[in-house]
Amino acid sequence: MLRARAENCGETEYLHEDRCCVFCPAGTFVANHCSASHSRGKCDSCKEGEGFTAHENGLEECLHCRHCKEGQMIVRPCTLTQNAECRCKRGYFCADEGCEICWRHSQMHPDREEITPNCSDTTDPGCGLPSQGKGALVLVILMVFGLVLLLVFILKKLKCDKAASTDKDAEGGLLQEPKCQIIVKDLSQKELRDTFDVFIKEVPPHQWKRLMKTCLQKNDIDTIISRFPDNREEQSYQMLLIWKNTLGKKQCIINLLDALRHIDAKAYYNVQETLKSNNIIS
């Protein structure tokens, strides 16, 4: 019913208590919602260095700025319309793609062997390995490189739009497709809502928070849950709005699919097929 009432709102409006309010500009948030449909309520500016909103929005508070952690340095400060960007300091490296934690190049290996690192690349996780094991490491690297070349040769013979393998598990067979570039069409407000509804329907409730944590901060998730304690659909919809306000419409859909692919293969397959049939992605 909530989605149906929202159909009357325009591209730059959001639904609040049966009224279509005009979005607040980027860099601001909704201090007071509108009192009449198709008008704008009171918009207050985010606090410099503490919060931001990257796009027009109907949020009741700004998104929290990222704070660089130990071992990180700030590359770009948080502004009213852009989140901060961090990277590892010299002498530190990232061990994961998201670079949540920067690890220091240690002077002592866990097995207590002394090492003499020569670390110029702060993103090199192999810096500082014991010198006694470097010969074996080189051999392993060469073997892995050879396997990668073989794999690339095989993949070039496969068409990207065909299933690569069949994964038969307890829930039935799911076609595992090679990762292809996803193209998202220009979405109207209605198409974006319908797309969000597909994710809300197909992603299992016990996997939803895990999916949201790939982009949202824990404080934002907890705030939305406390605001709509008995309405899981509205909780999910509000979380997806933050994704959209942070990344934009198209990149939001691409990132959601990429994150879901690693969390729940069955849900990813169902969402992808539905969006293809709805002509949302190709």
102 and 170: one domain? no
Task: Tell me, yes or no, whether 104 lies in a domain.
Answer: yes
User: How many domains does the chain contain in total?
Assistant: 3
Asked if 144 and 193 sit in the same domain, the reply is no
Residuewise pLDDT in 10s, the chain (282 residues): 444 455 678 889 999 888 999 999 999 999 999 999 999 999 999 999 999 999 999 999 999 998 888 888 999 999 999 999 988 988 888 876 667 778 887 644 444 443 444 444 444 444 544 444 556 777 888 888 888 888 877 887 675 555 444 444 434 444 444 557 889 888 888 888 899 999 999 999 888 988 998 888 888 888 888 888 888 888 888 899 888 888 888 888 999 999 999 999 999 999 999 999 999 999
Position 282 in a domain = no
CATH number for the domain spanning 257: value is: 1.10.533.10
CA 200 – CA 193 distance, rounded (Å): 10
In this structure, is residue 81 part of a structural domain?
A: no
* Model pTM score: 0.41
Kindly state whether residues 210 and 261 are assigned to the same domain. Answer: yes
Residue 84: inside a domain, yes or no? no
Domain boundary pick from 64, 79, 107: 64
Exposure string of 14-24, with b = 16+ CB inside 10 Å and e = fewer, is bbbeebbbbbb
Q: Where are the alpha helices (DSSP H) in 110-231?
A: 134-155, 189-202, 205-212, 218-227
Residues 231 and 263 occupy one common structural domain: yes
pLDDT at 164: 44
pLDDT digits (tens, 9 = 90+) for 90-105: 888 887 666 777 888 7
In a domain, 54, yes or no: yes
Same domain, 210 and 263: yes
Of 122, 155, 188, which residue sits at a domain end? 155
**pLDDT tens column, 123-133:** 444 454 444 45
Does residue 70 lie within any of the structural domains? no
Among candidates 26, 30, 25, which has minimal Cα distance to 16?
Answer: 30
- Round to whole Å and give the CA distance between 93 and 117: 13
Task: Output the domain CATH number for residue 20.
Answer: 2.10.50.10
In a domain, 79, yes or no: no
List residues bridging with 104 in a β-sheet: 92
Q: What is the biggest distance separating any 2 CA atoms in the chain, rounded to whole angstroms?
A: 74
- Would 75 be classed as within a structural domain? no
Domain extent, residue 181, equals 165-277
